[in-house]
């Protein structure tokens, strides 16, 4: 990380901070943190995204922390000469819409699926993008106010499921740094009353549709629901005592939106998802969690029983991994 290089790159330009589509708390907290950091070094920015801010938790945090973010349709004057820093997402990913501006920089904590030659990049595998952003303040010794520290801490808490998912030593280090500066009562307040009544319908349908094969759980939802909710239901399915790998997907724009969770030692959620959705969609992510999509124009490739085909695609990949692990163990 070379924070001064980033600042010098952006100075003198109109700069947008683009989160992934349908931003979650980590994406918005990270964009907000970078916005505050860059402002402290003389660079003004605008936070933008495509889609919607869907969940109560995300809407509440925007109000609480006074985060201003604009959907791309609200921005009418972005030009190819304007600079974009992608936050919590990378160019060419399916969850990052291509905007008119020039993506010159990227700050993200996900594995790279399609390489891109940014003028500046900070790509680190960790539990939350907000951890990376917190490190900018720490390493540069830039003053971090309570409001921003609390937003970043909330982003880490949400993306690591309160440090139960994908957390690294780096996340713990940044949590310790932020915890001394944050208003922890605000964190507690934001954690309450985040569910909406329609969320229960999604949970109910997932429970009715659940299929379990060995240690793998599948659940489908026949209607569109927020990405964050699909992810929470995936965590819920993983919480079953016989499930170690969970695949949950919901209808989205005529296709499917996936959330995948893993707690085994030998599966990699991102790699498995990418392979399972190859040629019919797009997927990827971390060892413990991943996401993916199958677009409407590819649904026909799944045949008359798309749910069975999806399950087969994932199970074939997982069985191949099991055989490889068994082979290695027999040779040792």
Question: Alpha-carbon distance 166 to 126, whole Å?
Answer: 7
Decide if 64 contacts 183 (C-beta within 8 A).
no
pLDDT band at 139 (very low <50, low <70, confident <90, very high): very high
Question: Alpha-carbon distance 310 to 277, whole Å?
Answer: 8
- Does CATH place domain 198-331 in 3.10.310.30? yes
% of the chain beyond a pLDDT of 70? 98
Question: Alpha-carbon distance 52 to 30, whole Å?
Answer: 17
Question: Alpha-carbon distance 10 to 15, whole Å?
Answer: 7
Give the tens place of pLDDT for each residue, 223-256: 988 888 898 899 899 989 999 999 999 998 889 9
Query: Which one has a higher pLDDT value, 57 or 200?
Result: 200
Strand partners, 70: 48
Decide if 296 contacts 290 (C-beta within 8 A).
no
With 80 as the cut, is the pLDDT of residue 165 above it? no
Task: Please state, rounded to an integer, the average pLDDT across all residues of the chain.
Answer: 91
Question: Alpha-carbon distance 171 to 55, whole Å?
Answer: 24
Give the tens place of pLDDT for each residue, 192-210: 656 677 788 899 999 999 9
Q: What are phi and psi of 304, to 5 degrees?
A: -75, -20
Report the candidate in 247, 183, 172 with the shortest Cα–Cα distance to residue 209.
247
Least confident of 21-25, 104-108, 228-232: 228-232
With 80 as the cut, is the pLDDT of residue 57 above it? no
Is the Cα torsion angle 303, 201, 281, 262 positive or negative in sign? negative
Report the candidate in 72, 14, 81 with the shortest Cα–Cα distance to residue 43.
14
Paired tokens of 268: 């990699």
Decide if 9 contacts 120 (C-beta within 8 A).
yes
Query: For residue 208, with 0-12 CB atoms within 10 Å meaning exposed, 13-18 middle and 19 or more buried, which class applies?
Result: exposed
Q: Which CATH class is domain 3-190?
A: alpha beta
Question: Alpha-carbon distance 179 to 80, whole Å?
Answer: 40
What pairing do the DSSP bridges indicate for beta strands 83-87 and 15-19? Answer: parallel
Query: Which one has a higher pLDDT value, 184 or 19?
Result: 19
Residue 56's Cα: distance from chain center in Å? 17
Report the candidate in 281, 263, 283 with the shortest Cα–Cα distance to residue 272.
283
With 90 as the cut, is the pLDDT of residue 114 above it? no
pLDDT band at 113 (very low <50, low <70, confident <90, very high): confident
pLDDT band at 152 (very low <50, low <70, confident <90, very high): very high
Which DSSP symbol is given to 223? S
Question: Alpha-carbon distance 114 to 134, whole Å?
Answer: 26
pLDDT band at 58 (very low <50, low <70, confident <90, very high): confident
Decide if 144 contacts 137 (C-beta within 8 A).
yes
Decide if 69 contacts 62 (C-beta within 8 A).
yes
With 70 as the cut, is the pLDDT of residue 27 above it? yes
Ramachandran assignment for 44, one of left (phi > 0), alpha (psi -120 to 50 degrees), beta (any other): beta
Question: Alpha-carbon distance 214 to 138, whole Å?
Answer: 45
Domain range summary for the chain, segments of one domain joined by +: 3-190, 198-331
Cα dist. 205→56, 69, 249, 293 in Å? Answer: 21, 33, 11, 20
Cα dist. 188→88, 95, 285 in Å? Answer: 24, 30, 28
């Amino acid at each position: 990380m070379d924070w001064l290089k980033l600042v010098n790159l952006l100075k003198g330009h109109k700069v947008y901070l683009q989160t992934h589509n349908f931003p979650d708390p980590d994406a918005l907290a990270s964009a907000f943190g970078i916005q505050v950091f860059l402002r402290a070094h003389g660079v003004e920015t605008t936070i933008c995204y495509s889609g919607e801010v869907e969940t109560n938790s995300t809407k509440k945090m925007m109000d609480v922390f006074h985060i201003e973010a604009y959907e791309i349709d609200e921005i009418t004057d972005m030009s190819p000469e304007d600079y974009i820093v992608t936050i919590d997402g990378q160019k060419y990913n399916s969850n990052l819409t291509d905007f008119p501006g020039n993506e010159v920089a990227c700050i993200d904590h996900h594995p790279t699926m399609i390489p891109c030659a940014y003028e500046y990049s900070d790509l680190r595998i960790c539990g939350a993008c907000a951890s990376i952003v917190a490190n900018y303040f720490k390493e540069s010794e830039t003053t971090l106010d309570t409001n921003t520290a609390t937003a970043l801490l909330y982003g880490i808490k949400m993306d690591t499921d309160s440090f139960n998912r994908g957390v690294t030593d780096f996340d713990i280090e940044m949590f310790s740094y932020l915890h001394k500066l944050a208003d922890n009562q605000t964190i507690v307040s934001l954690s309450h009353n985040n569910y909406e009544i329609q969320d229960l319908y999604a949970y109910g349908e997932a429970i009715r549709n659940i299929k379990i094969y060995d240690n793998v759980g599948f659940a489908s939802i026949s209607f569109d629901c927020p990405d964050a909710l699909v992810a929470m239901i995936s965590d819920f399915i993983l919480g079953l005592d016989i499930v170690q790998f969970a695949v949950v997907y919901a209808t989205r724009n005529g296709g499917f939106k996936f959330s995948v969770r893993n707690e085994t030692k030998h599966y990699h959620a991102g790699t498995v998802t990418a392979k399972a959705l190859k040629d019919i969609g797009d997927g990827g992510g971390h060892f413990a969690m991943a996401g993916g999509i199958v677009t409407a124009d590819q649904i026909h490739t799944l045949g008359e029983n798309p749910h069975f085909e999806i399950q087969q695609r994932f199970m074939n990949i997982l069985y191949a991994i099991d055989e490889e692990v068994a082979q290695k163990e027999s040779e040792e």
